[in-house]
């Protein structure tokens, strides 16, 4: 039996103190809404996303997922209780998720499809329940949810809180949504009031207890940082379980779409971003890899590999920056910039080599063949192509293509001016 899902993402997120819609703040490289949509679309083929504040930006960010978009009328019906007006779920039961829970995974919400009940309410127990709606339970039955601002001191001491996940039968939603009122501290329609309306009408409300760190709600920048820590621990634990060596994992940042294969090692202080794919490689301390592929290579310490790079069977050393380049069997040990370059096997890039790939208007390619010895401090003025088996002398500025087998040397003539030092600085006392 199918389950429809609705994700509430129309709120302003005032407590974030940001012009960006709350659900677009990122966790491990992806907007919060991306994480929850990933979980929801894995579970259901009928997912509705409710948008309002910053709707065009939110819609743009969900491009890769198949969802229905519902626009909330925030003027007439503000609040979580106004969000679902006009929803048409395909299935008999609708699972409603707050959009600001980026740590939820498909396995966390799957149990809602199994539990019987007119309404199944996700409940978590918190030592510090501040900020959440409290769940009032009497005689084993959920009575109602009271928001913090509307709660009495006694109700505030309740540690069972509303996770922000509900599974509701479609007819109940139709019956009770129009009956919500906005008579509360915020003057908003609260979805949570459905509980007491349904209870009064004799329907069953079943609590489903959930793990707190998977249903963490992000309302502020401090919450965002906390959610990031939990997500990072999760991502790194999974890769270690899969066989990746992480040295001092607390110091390493790995985004959610990074993948590893074979036996890999990542040393302390590294940042791995985007869709980087690492195969049987070692990334030494304090290196940054973004949207790049490393295969049987070693990179760093202190290297920066930028988007569109593919580095295979190569060794990249410290202070080397590689951008949108293909390196296959290459050594670049020290202090270089290799941008828009294609470099073939057996080639050695000397310290201080720069591809001058940009003329202020356009970017140009540099192509270097096999077994080329590039002397230190070489400048490739792109576009330029070097054939196999070439030696380029240190300090050369290369302004033309090179044929196979040559030595290329371009150095301005050296001029000596006798005694200039003393004329300029005067005689030294100790001289």
Choose among ligand UD1, Ca ion, none what residue 82 binds, the Cβ cut-off being 5 to 8 Å by kind.
ligand UD1
Candidate segments 55-63, 156-164, 231-239, 290-298, binder of ligand UD1 by CB under 6 A = 156-164
Asked if residue 95 binds ligand UD1 (CB under 6 A), the reply is no
Choose among Ca ion, ligand UD1, none what residue 190 binds, the Cβ cut-off being 5 to 8 Å by kind.
ligand UD1
Q: Transcribe 167-204 into DSSP letters.
A: EEEHHHHHHHGGG----STT-S--GGGHHHHHHHTT--
Shortest distance (Å) from residue 243 CB to ligand UD1: 36
Q: Which two tokens stand for residue 314?
A: 């190569």
Q: Decide: helix, strand or coil at residue 379.
A: strand
Q: Give the contact letters, 95-124, x = binds to Ca ion (CB under 5 A), - = no.
A: -----x------------------------
Asked if residue 27 binds ligand UD1 (CB under 6 A), the reply is no
Candidate segments 7-15, 112-120, 354-362, 409-417, binder of ligand UD1 by CB under 6 A = 7-15
Asked if residue 336 binds ligand UD1 (CB under 6 A), the reply is no
Choose among Ca ion, ligand UD1, none what residue 10 binds, the Cβ cut-off being 5 to 8 Å by kind.
ligand UD1
Rounded Cα distance, 111 and 404, in Å = 66
Residue 354 CB: number of other CB atoms within 10 A?
Answer: 18
Rounded Cα distance, 121 and 46, in Å = 20
- Indicate if 334 belongs to the active site: yes
Candidate segments 56-64, 150-158, 188-196, 415-423, binder of ligand UD1 by CB under 6 A = 188-196
Cα–Cα nearest to 201, from 169, 170, 175, 180: 175
Among 82, 102, 217, 317, binds Ca ion (CB under 5 A): 217
Candidate segments 172-180, 190-198, 266-274, 350-358, binder of ligand UD1 by CB under 6 A = 190-198
Cα–Cα nearest to 127, from 173, 103, 161, 88: 161
Q: Residue 123 contacts by C-beta under 8 Å, 6 or more apart in sequence?
A: 135, 142, 160, 161, 162, 163, 207, 208, 209, 210
Q: Residue 183 contacts by C-beta under 8 Å, 6 or more apart in sequence?
A: none
Residues in a beta bridge with 69 = 49
Rounded Cα distance, 355 and 100, in Å = 45
Shortest distance (Å) from residue 217 CB to ligand UD1: 3
| Contact positions vs ligand UD1 (CB under 6 A) | 8-11, 22-23, 50, 52, 72, 74, 78-80, 82-83, 98-100, 132-133, 145, 147, 161-162, 164, 190-192, 217, 219
| Contact positions vs Ca ion (CB under 5 A) | 100, 217, 219
Active site residues: 334
């Amino acid at each position: 039996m199918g389950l429809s899902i609705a994700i509430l993402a129309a709120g302003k997120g005032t407590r974030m103190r940001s012009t960006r819609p709350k659900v677009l703040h990122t966790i491990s490289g992806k907007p919060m809404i991306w994480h929850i949509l990933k979980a929801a679309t894995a579970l259901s083929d009928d997912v509705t996303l409710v948008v309002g504040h910053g709707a065009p930006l939110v819609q743009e960010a969900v491009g890769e997922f198949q969802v229905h978009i519902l626009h909330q009328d925030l003027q007439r019906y503000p609040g979580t209780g106004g969000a679902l007006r006009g929803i048409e779920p395909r299935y008999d039961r609708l699972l409603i998720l707050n959009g600001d829970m980026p740590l939820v995974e498909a396995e966390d919400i799957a149990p809602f499809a199994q539990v019987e009940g007119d309404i199944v309410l996700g409940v978590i127990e918190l030592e510090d329940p501040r900020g959440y709606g409290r769940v009032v339970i009497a005689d084993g039955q959920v009575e109602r949810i009271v928001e913090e601002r509307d709660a009495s001191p006694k109700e505030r001491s309740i540690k069972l809180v509303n996770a922000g996940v509900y599974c509701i039968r479609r007819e109940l939603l139709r019956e009770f949504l129009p009956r919500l009122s906005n008579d509360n501290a915020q003057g908003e329609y609260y979805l949570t009031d459905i509980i007491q309306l349904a209870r009064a009408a004799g329907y069953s409300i079943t609590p489903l207890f959930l793990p707190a760190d998977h249903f963490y709600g992000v309302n502020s920048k401090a919450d965002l940082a906390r959610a990031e820590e939990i997500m990072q621990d999760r991502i790194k634990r999974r890769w270690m379980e899969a066989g990746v060596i992480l040295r001092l994992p607390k110091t390493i940042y790995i985004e959610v779409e990074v993948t590893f294969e074979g036996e890999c090692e990542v040393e302390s202080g590294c940042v791995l971003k985007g869709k980087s794919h690492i195969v049987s490689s070692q990334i030494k301390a304090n290196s940054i890899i973004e949207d790049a592929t490393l295969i049987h290579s070693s990179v760093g310490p202190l290297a920066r590999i930028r988007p569109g790079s593919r580095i295979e069977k190569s060794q990249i050393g410290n202070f080397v920056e590689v951008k949108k380049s293909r390196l296959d069997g290459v050594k670049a040990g020290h202090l270089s910039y290799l941008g828009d370059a294609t470099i073939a096997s057996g080639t050695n890039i000397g310290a201080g080599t720069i591809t001058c790939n940009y003329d202020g208007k356009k970017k140009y390619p540099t192509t270097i063949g096999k077994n080329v010895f590039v002397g230190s401090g070489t400048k490739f003025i792109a576009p330029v192509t070097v054939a196999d088996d070439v030696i380029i002398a240190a300090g050369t500025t290369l302004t033309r293509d090179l044929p196979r087998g040559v030595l290329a040397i371009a150095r301005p003539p050296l001029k000596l001016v006798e005694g200039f030092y003393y004329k300029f600085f005067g005689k030294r006392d100790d001289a």
